[in-house]
């Protein structure tokens, strides 16, 4: 009797969105998920810190400012613990089932926020990446770029009379440093990253993202 083997689904694609405050990541990620689903591609939206029940608890701790009180290294460990849970509970299982994963922030945020802005040693960040993400690199990272003042004004308008969180409360120099760090990441890894102008209308940004995706991932997926 011949044995039948189920055909393993083609692995999903992993797309991360990065950028500073108010860059429009959440807006764009939802638009892209809708567009992919309309194109018949199953896609889920998730975020960091958070995205899994355990990681959402850590998100609450970090954004409350508690992590900052523990010091930069300990705060970095909290982000890493959240990522470990998120990767193993949500991201990898979805990709293995052929589902595309769209993630609002990932390891580039740790490099930019903890590495560049809080001076956490790159050796520690590399060691934590080895444990939490192993060989899991995004297939595409969309970095949304805009002047700091524009992003902060958008975030303030959205917040209204609410209190700024741990990172929103940082000053303009901190946010300018972040913008520089993300631009540097885009320059260092052009194969993986694309830097897009986030000052355009949401629709124009979405069209630019779609153009990049079609060129870099959809053509490749169709030929896989
Ligand atoms: N963090 C870290 O330090 N280390 C790490 O490893 C990780 C994260 C993973 C999470 O914050 C914080 O954790 C983050 C980094 C740190 N710090 N901050 N700040 P979060 O998840 O609460 O928030 P965020 O990731 O920074 O995103 P955001 O500020 O909420 O912005 P966004 O998602 O990029 O933008 P949006 O919500 O889509 O849009 C913001 C507003 O602008 C909203 O009112 C929109 O309607 C409007 N908008 C959006 N697009 C446009 C355009 N094109 N034109 C005009 N208006 C627009």
Q: How do beta strands 100-104 and 43-47 pair?
A: parallel
Contact (CB, 8 A) for 89 and 44: no
- Residue range 162-216, pLDDT digits in tens: 888 888 888 899 999 999 999 999 999 999 999 999 999 999 999 999 999 999 9
- Residue range 125-149, pLDDT digits in tens: 999 999 999 999 999 999 999 999 9
- Mean of pLDDT values over 150-162: 91
> How far is the C-alpha of 90 from the C-alpha of 95, rounded, in Å?
9
Whole-number percent of the chain with pLDDT over 70: 94
What are the strands of the beta sheet with 193-197, ordered from one edge?
43-47, 100-104, 14-19, 140-145, 193-197
What is the distance in A from the centroid of ligand 1 to the CA of 39? 26
**What domain count does the chain have?**
1
CB within 6 Å of ligand 1 — which residues? 19, 21-27, 47-49, 79, 104-105, 109-110, 113-114, 154-155, 158, 167-168, 201-202, 205
- Domain-located, residue 152: yes
> How far is the C-alpha of 177 from the C-alpha of 116, rounded, in Å?
8
> How far is CA 161 from its chain centroid?
27
> pTM for the complete prediction?
0.94
- Domain-located, residue 40: yes
Judge whether residue 69 has pLDDT over 60: yes
Half-sphere exposure of 133 (CA within 13 A, CB side): 19
> How far is the C-alpha of 112 from the C-alpha of 185, rounded, in Å?
9
> How far is the C-alpha of 151 from the C-alpha of 129, rounded, in Å?
28
- Domain-located, residue 41: yes
CATH of the domain at 61: 3.40.50.300
Relative to the CA of 168, which ligand 1 atom is closest?
Answer: 19
- Residue range 88-125, pLDDT digits in tens: 999 999 999 999 999 999 999 999 999 999 999 999 99
- Domain-located, residue 5: no
> How far is the C-alpha of 155 from the C-alpha of 202, rounded, in Å?
15
- Domain-located, residue 2: no
Q: Where in the sequence is the domain holding 165, given as residue range(s)?
A: 14-219
- From atom 49 of ligand 1, which residue's Cα is the shortest distance away? 24
């Amino acid at each position: 009797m011949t044995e039948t083997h189920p055909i393993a689904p083609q692995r999903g694609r992993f797309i991360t969105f990065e950028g500073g405050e108010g860059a429009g990541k959440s807006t764009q990620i939802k638009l892209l998920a809708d567009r992919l689903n309309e194109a018949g591609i199953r896609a889920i939206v998730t975020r960091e810190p958070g995205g899994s029940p355990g990681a959402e608890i850590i998100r609450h701790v970090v954004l409350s400012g508690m992590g900052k009180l523990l010091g930069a290294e300990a705060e970095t460990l909290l982000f890493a613990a959240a990522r470990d849970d998120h990767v193993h509970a949500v991201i990898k299982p979805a990709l293995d089932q052929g589902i595309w994963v769209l993630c609002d922030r990932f390891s580039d945020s740790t490099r930019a926020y903890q590495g560049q802005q809080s001076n956490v040693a790159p050796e520690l960040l590399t060691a934590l990446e080895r444990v939490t993400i192993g060989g899991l690199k995004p297939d595409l990272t969309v970095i949304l770029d805009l002047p700091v003042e524009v992003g902060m004004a958008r975030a303030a308008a959205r917040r209204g009379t609410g209190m700024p969180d741990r990172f929103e409360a940082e000053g303009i120099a901190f946010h300018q440093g972040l913008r520089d760090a993300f631009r540097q990441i885009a320059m260092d890894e052009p194969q993986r990253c694309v830097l897009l102008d986030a000052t355009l209308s949401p629709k124009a940004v979405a069209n630019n993202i779609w153009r990049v995706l079609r060129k870099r991932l959809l053509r490749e997926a169709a030929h896989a």
